[in-house]
Structure formats: C-alpha cells, structure tokens
A and B are shown apart, each in its own frame.
Chain A
Amino acid sequence: TQLLEQSPQFLSIQEGENLTVYCNSSSVFSSLQWYRQEPGEGPVLLVTVVTGGEVKKLKRLTFQFGDARKDSSLHITAAQPGDTGLYLCAVYYLLQGGSEKLVFGKGTKLTVNP
C-alpha cells in the first residue's frame, strides 16, 4: 500500500491551460513537500507546506495543504512547456528508533505541448 497516492498518473495538456494534480493519504503529516523532476535530472524541491489549510504560491504554481494535513494539491495556471516534468509529493516518515526517511509518491508526469 502506497503511503502517498498521486493523481492523475499522466497528464498531457496544451500550453496556456490550467491544471491541478493531487497527493492524498489516509495518514496525517506534520509537513509535505512537492518536487519537480525533469528528464535526466534529480528531483528539485519546490515547496514545503506545514500548516493545515496553508496556501503557498510560486509564480504560476499554487500549493495547498489540506485542513486535516492528509492531502495536498498543486495548481498550475497558464501552463508552459517549461513546466513539463514529473511532479512528486513527499513526506518525512518516522522510522523505529526515532529517525525519519523521505517517502515519495509515484508522481504525476506532466507534458505541456506548445
């Protein structure tokens, strides 16, 4: 069972369209991160959301953390070809012994066509 479920798995849209991708879980988290991974590169951190209901904006990207801190969404306005990539959500998961590891969802693969 995946700790984080991301939807949709694939999304192909035209330049200028708006889109929303989702990251859902049945668990409650103290924070949640969004990364973008471009082909041939490692993931790059976009944002960390911490407070339930929090909304953060990064240019045309809007991130929201659910009120119950179990889910999050990423909305892109007027998508551009440069937004193409794999969008991953991730949380820190507590291991036995008190340490934590970063756990990722499977990601949403976004293609923005010119």
Chain B
Amino acid sequence: DAGVTQSPTHLIKTRGQQVTLRCSPKSGHDTVSWYQQALGQGPQFIFQYYEEEERQRGNFPDRFSGHQFPNYSSELNVNALLLGDSALYLCASSTWAGLAVTNEQFFGPGTRLTVL
C-alpha cells in the first residue's frame, strides 16, 4: 500500500520564478492538505483540497495556489518566489469528514525548495 508521495524531492529556483510541487495521496484518501515548514519551525497550514475545491486556507498570500485532480492527486503552485519561500513543503492526505472534523493525516516526505 503506497503512502503519500511527493515530487520532486529537491528544487532550486531563483527569486521571481514560479514553481509547481506535486503530491499523490495515500490509497483510499480523498483529501489533500499542504503545509510549509521553514527551518527550525513546525509545519504551517497552507490550504486543503477536497472534491477538487479549496475547502480551507491558512494565512498565506494569493501567490500560493493549488489544484486537485479527479484522481485526488494535488499540485501546489507558488508564483513570484521570494527568498522567504525557501522551506520544506509537506503534503498530507486523509479521508474527508467535513469541515469541522479532520481524520488522521498522513504526511509525505516533502519537497525541499530553495530560493536563491
């Protein structure tokens, strides 16, 4: 049973560029959440997707956008990259239980983004 997978593992970009990160959820899961983990910090919630729609969002600017596909996989897009966007980007999958309830989330290994 495949767990959550993310690609690429590492990525280096320069300021102003755009980046797309990808996530495949654990088999049987239909909900994908994205987190940003800066060095020395805990993960911070970016947004969550279910049924191809953004269901909830954390305190991140509109430069951060996402998409979910019919097969439940998801992409995170970041435009106009800043140095401060350098971080580990984690994807977590779960089964949908409504907005006010969250089933256990399973995290992928993350994509390490470096912005120069």
Contacts and interface: CB of A to CB of B under 8 A. Distances in A.
Contact of B43 (A40, A94, A104): A104
A67 interface: no
Contacts of B100: 94, 98-100
B78 interface: no
Interface of B: 4, 33, 40-45, 48, 55-56, 58, 90-92, 99-102, 104-105, 107-110
A42 B44 CA distance: 13
A45 interface: yes
A4 B41 CA distance: 12
Contacts of A105: 42
Contacts of B109: 40-42
Contacts of B101: 100
A104 B110 contact: no
Nearest first, the 9 A-B pairs at minimum CB distance are A42-B107, A104-B42, A99-B99, A99-B56, A101-B45, A106-B42, A42-B90, A104-B43, A43-B107
